[in-house]
Structure 1
Amino acid sequence: MPELRASALVDAPVAAVAGALLDTALISGFGVRVPGPLLCLGDVLTGPFGVRLTVTRADLSGVSAEGDFLELHTDLVVTGAGTMVVDRVGWKSVRGVLGRFADVTVARGIALRVLQKRSALLAARCRELARARVVVGAAVVRDGRLLAQQRSYPESHAGQWELPGGRVESGEKPEDALVRECVEELGVTVAVGAQVGPDVPLRRDLVLRIFAAELVDGEPEALEHNAVRWCTADELPGVDWLPADRALVPALQALLN
């Protein structure tokens, strides 16, 4: 399978770059049809000439999409100067002289132009996310299970599930905001740990940032939601998550395993 590689250094943390890669606006401009605003594991992408790709990876290490004739891989490498973005595009070529000619003159040229344009869009999106306001969420784990809560409003999302959390107020640290939100929504005190997964874009100027959390005091109650539940790693893909939380399922499974 012929392959083209390209790399670029982005001056941003890996969590921000991984989050920007989830934004389907980066690829929808190339004629790719996507199922939603965020890339999620298992999503099917359709492109020109009937190309179909399934998302097989979407986490802090990068993203991958694979099909019968085309593969796209973006790997993220943390360096002292930022995050190295390594793109790989592979495709099946037609046999014979015509196929080799098409590889050299057409396929490689198109792939290179796409990667260059996507690289510029990625760097610009990372700069936007660096200035974005933050919504925090808690990945509360107990006995190998993750705590989730069911939305009661707005009507468009009622019945779906999400992680506890909320917006960071002006002058408030993200960790302090998460402790406050858990008291307000669940009636519990938590100790906040390290970030889990990428920064997930919610809007052009808003990102969701998840932190691991441990219960310190109290038993979770649905004070502002319909219900709470504890989920195993195997149950997470089948939960009716809000779109942003669904994008974090691979990172949440890794936290539980």
Structure 2
Amino acid sequence: MPELRASALVDAPVSVVAGALLDTSLITGFGVRVPGPLLCVGDELAGPFGVRLAVTRADLSGVSAAGDFLELHTDLVVTGAGTMVVDRVGWTSVRGVVGRFADMTVGRGTALRVLEKRSALLARRCSELRSARVVVGAAIVRGGRLLAQQRSFPESHAGQWELPGGRVEPGEKPVDALVRECVEELGVPVVVGDQVGPDVPLKRDLVLRIFSAELAGGEPEALEHNAVRWVTAGELPGLPWLPADRVLVPALQRLLN
């Protein structure tokens, strides 16, 4: 399988770059049809000429998608000067002289132009996300289970599940905001740990940032939601999550395992 590689250094933390890669606006301009605004593992992408790909990876390490004769991989490497973005495109060749000619001209030339344009879009999106407002969420773990809460409003999201949290107020630190939100929504104090997964784009200037957390006392109650429940790693994919939380399911499963 012929393969084309390209790399670029982005002046942004890996959590920001990984989040920007989830934004499907970076690929829809190339004629790719997507199921929603964010890339999730398991999503099917439809490209020109009947090309179909399934997303197999979307996390802090990068993004991958594979089909019958095409594979796309973007790997992220943390450096002292930023995040190195390494793109790899592989495709199955047609046999014979015509196939080899296509590999050297149409295939490689088109792929290189697409990667160069996507690289510029990625750098611009990362710049936007670095200064974006933040919504924080808590991945509260107890006994190998994750706490989730069911939305009661708005009507479009009623019945769906999300992690506890809310917006960071002006002048407020994300960790302080998360502690406050857990008291308001669940009635319990928490101890906040490390970030889990990438910054997930919600709007052009708004991201969701999840932190691991542990209960510091009390029992969570659904003070502002329909219900709360403890979920195992195996149950996570089947829960009807809000779109932004669904993106983080692989990272949450790793947290539990």
Q: CA deviation at 1:23?
A: 0.2
CA distance in structure 1 between the partners assigned to 2:71 and 2:194 by the alignment = 33
When the two structures are aligned, how many residues end up with a matched partner? 257
Residue in structure 2 matched with residue 197 of structure 1 by the alignment: 197
Aligned residue identity for 1:99: G
AA partner of residue 76 (structure 1): L
Separation in 2, partners of 1:49, 1:21: 23
Distance 1:29 1:105 in 2: 22
Partner of 2:56: 56
- Residue 250 of structure 1 aligns with an amino acid whose one-letter code is P
2:146 maps to 146
The corresponding residue for 1:112 is 112
| 1:10 aligns to 2:3 (yes or no) | no
Q: Counterpart of 2:71?
A: 71
Residue equivalent to 2:215: 215
User: Corresponding residue for 1:87?
Assistant: 87
The 2-side partners of 1:244 and 1:122 are apart by: 19
Task: Please give the alpha-carbon distance, in whole angstroms, between the structure 1 residues aligned to 2:32 and 2:223.
Answer: 42
CA distance in 1 between counterparts of 2:79 and 2:253 reads 26
C-alpha separation in 1, matches of 2:24 and 2:237? 20
Give yes or no for the alignment of 1:169 onto 2:155: no
Equivalent position SS for 1:217: coil
Name stretches of at least 5 consecutive residues in structure 2 with no aligned partner.
none
Give every structure 1 segment of 4 or more consecutive aligned residues whose post-TM-superposition deviation is greater than 2 Å: none
Distance 2:256 2:78 in 1: 24
Spell out, residue by residue over 1:40-80, the C-alpha distance to the aligned partner (whole angstroms, 9 max, x if none).
00000001111000000000000000000100000000011
Post-superposition Cα deviations, 1:113-154, rounded to whole Å, max 9, x if no partner, equal 000000000000000001100000000000000000000000
| Corresponding residue number in structure 1 for 2:137 | 137
Q: How far, CA to CA, are the matches of 2:17 and 2:182 in structure 1?
A: 28
Given the alignment of the two structures, is residue 32 of structure 1 paired with residue 35 of structure 2, yes or no? no
Match of 1:44 in 2: 44
Q: Which amino acid aligns with 2:159?
A: G
Instruction: Tell me if 1:226 matches 2:209.
Output: no
Q: Cα distance, 1:217 vs. partner?
A: 1.4
In the TM superposition, residue 218 of structure 1 has moved relative to its aligned partner by 1.2
Give the Cα–Cα distance (whole angstroms) in 1 for the partners of residues 124 and 19 of structure 2.
13
What amino acid sits opposite 1:181 in the alignment?
E
Q: Give me the whole-angstrom Cα distance separating, in 2, the residues matched to 1:12 and 1:175.
A: 21
Question: 1:200 & 1:105 partners in 2: Cα distance?
Answer: 37
TM-score relative to the length of structure 1: 1.00
Three-state SS of the structure 2 residue aligned to 1:38 is coil
Query: Identity over the aligned pairs, expressed in percent?
Result: 86
Q: Structure 1: how far apart are the matches of 2:52 and 2:229? A: 36
Structure 1: runs of 5+ lacking an equivalent: none
Confirm or deny that 1:256 pairs with 2:256. Answer: yes
